[in-house]
Homo-oligomer: A and B are copies of this chain.
Amino acid sequence: METPSSSTPVTLEDVARRAGVSPSTASRALNGSARKVRDEYQSRVHAAAAELGYTANTAAQAVARGRGDHLAMVVNGINDDYFSPVAAGVLKAAEADDRMVTMISSRNSAQQATRVVSTLRSQRPRAIILAGGRSVTSTVWEERLVEELAAFQSEGGRVVAISEEGMPFDTVSLDNVAAASELAAALVGLGYRRVTILGGPADARTAHDRVQGFVAGLAGHGIEVPPSGVIHCGFDRDGGYAAAGECLRRRMPAELVLAISDTVAVGAIARFREAGLSLPADMAVAGIDDVTVLRDVAPALTTVRLPWPEAGRAALDLALQPAGAEPRLVRLTGHAVLRESTPGIGGR
């Protein structure tokens, strides 16, 4: 209960001395594993620790044990106040487990990601969680990234990737192709025929898969999307805004716009509205993710609900399990949620 106005942290030795036991006993009583300490000592040590305001030095523990106990996560980038659903999912799960997670942004670049993983590695965390961010064709830097992660793993760390499959690590994958495909199919069912796809960055794996899913889903119902029917853009609101502008400029004959994400969809909606279109009457728009912050935009956005919280949970669970002989794969799927932004077309 003391708040020493002095300046040096209380150490385990201080506690031990106060409790009249050896440092090892204090260690076992406080942070040790199997309870092998006499009840009397146990309580005396705890009392001493409380009185002194002792807090274990996790850095020292990490040195002694060879590895820390916290998680590290690499996210793609940080856009003002919108936080990637992936990151939120992991953070939420970590919150439930009372775990700390160190976050760092890869700034949307595999090169930076490599640097960043190297830095992360120096923290000796229990696990590194890599959230999204791969590109279609694996670049040199991406190979270096995998090497760096593999090195971390071979040192005893755990690595788990979220989003795209194909990395030699435990992976939680959201089936982007299936998600996009299901959505596309559902919308064809509502009568839409002429569609334009807002495809995000051409080299981003997630975006690529979703576009592919859209195309496949449409093709399954006899609708072909010409290459010109896919407009590439940034993966955010502004990207969608710009792409919608492009869509208008080209006077594309679309009655439905399929965006690779909700945020892109929202940007598109803003642009269309600015152009004087009335939504959803003049143009239907759908996205993917089911970002809850956007539940209340008008018209309510048709989307695919992706189980981000579950993905975060799964990633954490994988991270806490010891590594298996083979990389594990947890595959999660989403489902289309049809709302006002795609009321359907009477026709055909």
The answer to whether B121 touches A55, judged by C-beta atoms less than 8 angstroms apart, is yes
Any chain B CB within 8 A of the CB of A53?
A: yes
A24 at the interface (CB under 8 A from B): no
Q: Chain B interface: which of A1-9, A133-141, A222-230? A: A1-9
Q: Does A266 contact B (CB under 8 A)?
A: yes
The oligomer's copy count stands at 2
Specify which chain B residues have a CB less than 8 angstroms from the CB of A298 in the assembled complex. Answer: 273, 297-298
Q: Does A296 contact B297, Cβ atoms closer than 8 Å?
A: yes
Q: Mark A1-38, 1 if CB is under 8 A from B, else 0.
A: 00111111100000000000000000000000000000
* A100 CA to B119 CA, complexed, in Å: 9
- For window 217-245 of A, CB contacts with B under 8 Å fall at 237
| Contacting residue for A155 out of B7, B85, B95, B103, CB 8 A | B7
Interface 0/1 of A273-299, CB less than 8 Å to B: 100000000000000010111111110
Contact partners of A101 in chain B: CB under 8 A: 102-104
Does A186 count as interface, using CB distance less than 8 angstroms? no
Q: Check: A111 CB closer than 8 A to any chain B CB.
A: no
Which of A75-83, A171-179, A189-197, A330-338 is the interface stretch? A75-83
21 contacts between A and B (CB under 8 A): A3-B147, A3-B151, A4-B151, A5-B154, A8-B155, A58-B123, A58-B124, A59-B60, A59-B63, A59-B124, A81-B83, A81-B289, A82-B293, A95-B104, A101-B103, A101-B104, A102-B103, A237-B296, A266-B296, A293-B294, A298-B298
Q: Supply 14 further A-B pairs (C-beta < 8 A) apart from A58-B124, A79-B88, A103-B103.
A: A3-B151, A5-B154, A7-B156, A55-B118, A57-B63, A57-B122, A59-B59, A80-B88, A81-B289, A91-B105, A94-B104, A102-B103, A270-B295, A293-B294
User: Measuring CB to CB, which residues of chain A are less than 8 angstroms from any residue of chain B?
Assistant: 3-9, 53, 55-60, 62-63, 68, 70, 72, 77-85, 87-89, 91-92, 94-95, 98, 100-105, 107, 118-124, 147, 150-151, 154-156, 237, 263, 266-267, 269-270, 273, 289, 291-298, 308-309
